[in-house]
Structure 1
Protein backbone atom coordinates (compact mmCIF):
# COMPACT_ATOMS: atom_id res chain seq x y z
CA UNK A 1 0.00 0.00 0.00
CA UNK A 2 1.28 3.43 -0.86
CA UNK A 3 1.58 6.32 1.57
CA UNK A 4 -0.82 8.49 -0.47
CA UNK A 5 -3.66 5.96 -0.21
CA UNK A 6 -3.63 5.75 3.60
CA UNK A 7 -5.16 9.21 4.31
CA UNK A 8 -7.77 8.60 1.60
CA UNK A 9 -8.74 5.26 3.17
CA UNK A 10 -8.98 6.82 6.65
CA UNK A 11 -11.21 9.65 5.40
CA UNK A 12 -13.52 7.16 3.65
CA UNK A 13 -13.85 5.06 6.83
CA UNK A 14 -14.79 8.11 8.90
CA UNK A 15 -17.40 9.28 6.37
CA UNK A 16 -19.01 5.83 6.28
CA UNK A 17 -19.38 5.72 10.06
CA UNK A 18 -20.99 9.19 10.08
CA UNK A 19 -23.42 8.24 7.33
CA UNK A 20 -24.70 5.22 9.29
CA UNK A 21 -25.39 7.08 12.55
CA UNK A 22 -28.96 8.26 13.17
CA UNK A 23 -30.32 10.80 15.62
CA UNK A 24 -33.74 10.23 17.19
CA UNK A 25 -36.27 12.89 16.30
CA UNK A 26 -36.92 15.39 19.12
CA UNK A 27 -40.70 15.38 18.67
CA UNK A 28 -41.07 11.66 19.41
CA UNK A 29 -39.20 11.82 22.76
CA UNK A 30 -41.59 14.42 24.18
CA UNK A 31 -44.66 12.56 22.96
CA UNK A 32 -43.67 9.33 24.73
CA UNK A 33 -43.69 10.74 28.30
CA UNK A 34 -47.03 12.44 29.00
CA UNK A 35 -46.81 15.60 31.14
CA UNK A 36 -48.71 15.50 34.45
CA UNK A 37 -51.14 18.28 35.03
CA UNK A 38 -50.29 21.36 37.06
CA UNK A 39 -52.67 20.40 39.89
CA UNK A 40 -51.11 16.96 40.26
CA UNK A 41 -47.66 18.52 40.52
CA UNK A 42 -48.79 21.01 43.16
CA UNK A 43 -50.45 18.24 45.16
CA UNK A 44 -47.28 16.17 44.99
CA UNK A 45 -45.13 19.14 46.10
CA UNK A 46 -47.48 19.85 49.02
CA UNK A 47 -47.40 16.23 50.20
CA UNK A 48 -43.59 16.17 49.97
CA UNK A 49 -43.31 19.42 51.94
CA UNK A 50 -45.62 18.02 54.60
CA UNK A 51 -43.53 14.82 54.82
CA UNK A 52 -40.38 16.95 55.08
CA UNK A 53 -41.87 18.97 57.95
CA UNK A 54 -42.87 15.75 59.77
CA UNK A 55 -39.41 14.30 59.26
CA UNK A 56 -37.76 17.46 60.59
CA UNK A 57 -40.00 17.44 63.66
CA UNK A 58 -39.21 13.76 64.35
CA UNK A 59 -35.50 14.43 63.87
CA UNK A 60 -35.67 17.27 66.40
CA UNK A 61 -37.42 15.05 68.94
CA UNK A 62 -34.87 12.28 68.46
CA UNK A 63 -31.98 14.73 68.88
CA UNK A 64 -33.51 16.01 72.13
CA UNK A 65 -33.87 12.43 73.43
CA UNK A 66 -30.33 11.62 72.42
CA UNK A 67 -28.95 14.67 74.23
CA UNK A 68 -30.92 13.80 77.38
CA UNK A 69 -29.70 10.21 77.32
CA UNK A 70 -26.14 11.34 76.67
CA UNK A 71 -26.17 13.83 79.53
CA UNK A 72 -27.63 11.24 81.93
CA UNK A 73 -24.97 8.74 80.87
CA UNK A 74 -22.21 11.33 81.28
CA UNK A 75 -23.47 12.31 84.75
CA UNK A 76 -23.54 8.68 85.86
CA UNK A 77 -20.05 8.09 84.48
CA UNK A 78 -18.72 11.27 86.10
CA UNK A 79 -20.19 10.29 89.48
CA UNK A 80 -18.71 6.80 89.24
CA UNK A 81 -15.27 8.16 88.32
CA UNK A 82 -15.32 10.63 91.22
CA UNK A 83 -16.17 7.86 93.67
CA UNK A 84 -13.40 5.66 92.29
CA UNK A 85 -10.95 8.57 92.51
CA UNK A 86 -11.82 9.13 96.18
CA UNK A 87 -11.47 5.41 96.90
CA UNK A 88 -8.04 5.31 95.26
CA UNK A 89 -6.90 8.39 97.21
CA UNK A 90 -7.89 6.69 100.47
CA UNK A 91 -6.01 3.53 99.48
CA UNK A 92 -2.93 5.61 98.69
CA UNK A 93 -3.07 7.34 102.09
CA UNK A 94 -3.43 3.99 103.86
CA UNK A 95 -0.51 2.49 101.93
CA UNK A 96 1.71 5.47 102.77
CA UNK A 97 0.72 5.27 106.44
CA UNK A 98 1.58 1.54 106.65
CA UNK A 99 4.95 1.97 104.95
CA UNK A 100 7.79 2.66 107.42
CA UNK A 101 9.58 5.97 106.88
CA UNK A 102 12.83 5.73 104.94
CA UNK A 103 16.02 5.89 107.03
CA UNK A 104 17.96 7.80 104.41
CA UNK A 105 16.85 9.71 101.39
CA UNK A 106 18.07 8.66 97.95
CA UNK A 107 20.75 11.35 97.88
CA UNK A 108 21.99 10.38 101.32
CA UNK A 109 22.10 6.73 100.29
CA UNK A 110 24.33 7.50 97.29
CA UNK A 111 26.58 9.67 99.46
CA UNK A 112 26.97 6.87 102.02
CA UNK A 113 27.69 4.36 99.27
CA UNK A 114 30.43 6.59 97.79
CA UNK A 115 31.99 7.12 101.20
CA UNK A 116 32.06 3.40 101.94
CA UNK A 117 33.73 2.68 98.57
CA UNK A 118 36.41 5.32 99.30
CA UNK A 119 37.03 3.89 102.79
CA UNK A 120 37.26 0.34 101.46
CA UNK A 121 39.76 1.50 98.80
CA UNK A 122 41.94 3.18 101.44
CA UNK A 123 41.97 0.10 103.66
CA UNK A 124 42.75 -2.19 100.70
CA UNK A 125 45.64 0.08 99.68
CA UNK A 126 47.10 0.11 103.18
CA UNK A 127 46.85 -3.67 103.48
CA UNK A 128 48.46 -4.20 100.09
CA UNK A 129 51.40 -1.89 100.94
CA UNK A 130 52.45 -3.85 103.92
CA UNK A 131 53.34 -2.98 107.49
CA UNK A 132 56.98 -1.98 106.97
CA UNK A 133 58.24 1.36 105.84
CA UNK A 134 60.60 1.41 102.92
CA UNK A 135 62.95 4.12 102.08
CA UNK A 136 61.76 6.00 99.10
CA UNK A 137 64.14 5.62 96.20
CA UNK A 138 63.12 8.65 94.28
CA UNK A 139 63.53 11.20 97.07
CA UNK A 140 67.33 10.92 97.66
Structure 2
Protein backbone atom coordinates (compact mmCIF):
# COMPACT_ATOMS: atom_id res chain seq x y z
CA UNK A 1 0.00 0.00 0.00
CA UNK A 2 2.80 2.41 0.77
CA UNK A 3 4.56 1.82 -2.53
CA UNK A 4 1.63 3.07 -4.58
CA UNK A 5 1.99 6.80 -3.60
CA UNK A 6 5.72 6.57 -4.16
CA UNK A 7 5.23 5.17 -7.65
CA UNK A 8 2.61 7.82 -8.38
CA UNK A 9 5.05 10.57 -7.34
CA UNK A 10 7.72 9.11 -9.57
CA UNK A 11 5.34 8.88 -12.53
CA UNK A 12 4.10 12.49 -12.29
CA UNK A 13 7.14 14.15 -13.86
CA UNK A 14 6.98 11.92 -16.93
CA UNK A 15 4.16 13.83 -18.70
CA UNK A 16 5.99 17.08 -18.00
CA UNK A 17 9.09 15.78 -19.76
CA UNK A 18 7.23 14.55 -22.80
CA UNK A 19 8.19 16.32 -26.00
CA UNK A 20 5.49 18.23 -27.81
CA UNK A 21 5.32 17.82 -31.56
CA UNK A 22 6.76 20.82 -33.32
CA UNK A 23 4.45 22.52 -35.77
CA UNK A 24 6.30 24.62 -38.28
CA UNK A 25 4.92 27.67 -39.90
CA UNK A 26 7.26 28.26 -42.83
CA UNK A 27 5.82 31.60 -43.83
CA UNK A 28 6.39 33.23 -40.43
CA UNK A 29 9.49 31.56 -39.03
CA UNK A 30 11.64 31.12 -42.11
CA UNK A 31 14.10 33.95 -42.68
CA UNK A 32 15.01 34.69 -46.22
CA UNK A 33 17.94 36.96 -47.01
CA UNK A 34 15.97 39.18 -49.37
CA UNK A 35 12.93 39.38 -47.10
CA UNK A 36 14.65 41.35 -44.30
CA UNK A 37 13.39 44.78 -43.62
CA UNK A 38 15.75 47.60 -44.53
CA UNK A 39 15.90 48.77 -40.89
CA UNK A 40 17.69 45.62 -39.64
CA UNK A 41 20.84 45.95 -41.84
CA UNK A 42 20.97 49.67 -41.14
CA UNK A 43 20.82 49.00 -37.39
CA UNK A 44 23.57 46.40 -37.67
CA UNK A 45 25.72 48.82 -39.64
CA UNK A 46 25.26 51.46 -36.93
CA UNK A 47 26.22 48.99 -34.21
CA UNK A 48 29.28 47.96 -36.24
CA UNK A 49 30.32 51.59 -36.66
CA UNK A 50 29.88 52.25 -32.92
CA UNK A 51 31.93 49.22 -31.95
CA UNK A 52 34.68 50.19 -34.40
CA UNK A 53 34.72 53.69 -32.92
CA UNK A 54 34.98 52.28 -29.38
CA UNK A 55 37.78 49.97 -30.48
CA UNK A 56 39.66 52.89 -32.00
CA UNK A 57 39.24 54.93 -28.80
CA UNK A 58 40.55 52.07 -26.69
CA UNK A 59 43.51 51.58 -29.01
CA UNK A 60 44.26 55.32 -28.75
CA UNK A 61 44.08 55.13 -24.95
CA UNK A 62 46.55 52.26 -24.94
CA UNK A 63 49.01 54.16 -27.14
CA UNK A 64 48.41 57.42 -25.24
CA UNK A 65 51.40 59.09 -23.57
CA UNK A 66 49.33 59.24 -20.37
CA UNK A 67 50.27 55.60 -19.85
CA UNK A 68 53.91 56.59 -19.98
CA UNK A 69 53.20 59.22 -17.34
CA UNK A 70 51.50 56.58 -15.22
CA UNK A 71 54.53 54.32 -15.58
CA UNK A 72 56.80 57.18 -14.51
CA UNK A 73 54.52 57.90 -11.54
CA UNK A 74 54.58 54.22 -10.55
CA UNK A 75 58.38 54.16 -10.73
CA UNK A 76 58.60 57.31 -8.62
CA UNK A 77 56.19 55.90 -6.02
CA UNK A 78 58.15 52.64 -5.91
CA UNK A 79 61.36 54.57 -5.20
CA UNK A 80 59.61 56.59 -2.50
CA UNK A 81 58.26 53.39 -0.96
CA UNK A 82 61.76 51.90 -0.82
CA UNK A 83 63.11 55.11 0.74
CA UNK A 84 60.38 55.06 3.42
CA UNK A 85 61.09 51.39 4.20
CA UNK A 86 64.76 52.26 4.67
CA UNK A 87 63.85 55.14 7.01
CA UNK A 88 61.61 52.80 9.02
CA UNK A 89 64.40 50.25 9.41
CA UNK A 90 66.80 53.00 10.55
CA UNK A 91 64.27 54.34 13.07
CA UNK A 92 63.68 50.85 14.45
CA UNK A 93 67.43 50.26 14.73
CA UNK A 94 67.93 53.56 16.61
CA UNK A 95 65.25 52.73 19.19
CA UNK A 96 66.57 51.61 22.56
CA UNK A 97 65.83 47.98 23.32
CA UNK A 98 62.74 47.34 25.39
CA UNK A 99 63.22 46.65 29.05
CA UNK A 100 60.76 43.72 29.04
CA UNK A 101 59.37 41.64 26.25
CA UNK A 102 55.62 41.31 25.81
CA UNK A 103 55.65 37.84 27.37
CA UNK A 104 57.57 39.11 30.41
CA UNK A 105 55.15 42.02 30.77
CA UNK A 106 52.16 39.66 30.89
CA UNK A 107 53.97 37.42 33.38
CA UNK A 108 54.62 40.37 35.68
CA UNK A 109 51.01 41.55 35.38
CA UNK A 110 49.78 38.09 36.43
CA UNK A 111 52.24 37.88 39.31
CA UNK A 112 51.22 41.34 40.52
CA UNK A 113 47.54 40.39 40.39
CA UNK A 114 48.21 37.21 42.38
CA UNK A 115 50.21 39.16 44.98
CA UNK A 116 47.50 41.79 45.38
CA UNK A 117 44.84 39.07 45.72
CA UNK A 118 46.95 37.28 48.39
CA UNK A 119 47.44 40.49 50.38
CA UNK A 120 43.74 41.40 50.20
CA UNK A 121 42.87 37.89 51.36
CA UNK A 122 45.22 38.18 54.32
CA UNK A 123 43.82 41.58 55.28
CA UNK A 124 40.20 40.52 54.94
CA UNK A 125 40.78 37.40 57.05
CA UNK A 126 40.94 39.36 60.24
CA UNK A 127 42.52 38.09 63.41
CA UNK A 128 41.62 34.52 64.29
CA UNK A 129 42.53 32.95 67.60
CA UNK A 130 43.04 29.41 66.50
CA UNK A 131 43.26 27.31 63.38
CA UNK A 132 40.52 25.05 64.66
CA UNK A 133 37.93 27.54 63.43
CA UNK A 134 38.59 26.42 59.91
CA UNK A 135 37.84 22.81 60.74
CA UNK A 136 34.47 23.48 62.36
TM-score using structure 1 length = 0.46
Larger radius of gyration: 1
